[in-house]
Amino acid sequence: MNRLLQRWLEREKPLFPKLRAIPLFRELNRRELQAVVELIEIRKYSTGDVVFERGDPGDGVYVVLKGCVEVIQKDGEDGEKVLLAQSESGSFFGETALLEGVPRTAAAVAIEDTRLALFPRDALHQLAEQRPHLGVKIAIQLARIVAERLRQTNHSLQVARDELAAKQKEDGEDES
């Protein structure tokens, strides 16, 4: 490893605990995590800066190293913002972009000065080609994360359906 890269890795060691704390990279050993760090892009945003807009290409997963990002959708014609998620230091967002490069379905905006680590989709493909075992480990973790979020969404939908049914039943009894 060249000296410049070695110095950069020494300076970026604080990335290791942040990356290891998120489920996507939790199962990686130090050498594997170092391979990931070499492919990560660090990006800085000021309060109000747009990380990505709805419709932008899905370029990868973002890890919040410092600060906070809101993932939002604009609802209806009046453009009212609907908060989908808030990602703070140590969390991540945009992970489905690792699976497919389809356009983003929401926007992400820094709500304070923020530092993000982008793990690009191309980097996962590169790892899968050059280090298949590492690519598979990350892909398996990604599948687990997406499955868990789908379970949570299904649960939330069921709760909303139950509440709606109870409200409709209550309204029907009030009319009698």
151-167 pLDDT tens trace: 998 988 898 898 988 88
Contacts 24+ apart (CB under 8 A), 119-123: 119/24, 119/36, 119/39, 119/40, 119/60, 119/61, 119/62, 119/63, 120/39, 120/41, 120/59, 120/60, 121/58, 121/59, 121/60, 121/97, 122/60, 123/36, 123/39, 123/40, 123/60
Ordered domains of the chain (ranges, CATH): 3-175 (2.60.120.10)
**Residues 49-79: pLDDT tens digits?**
999 999 999 999 999 999 999 999 977 667 7
Model pTM? Answer: 0.79
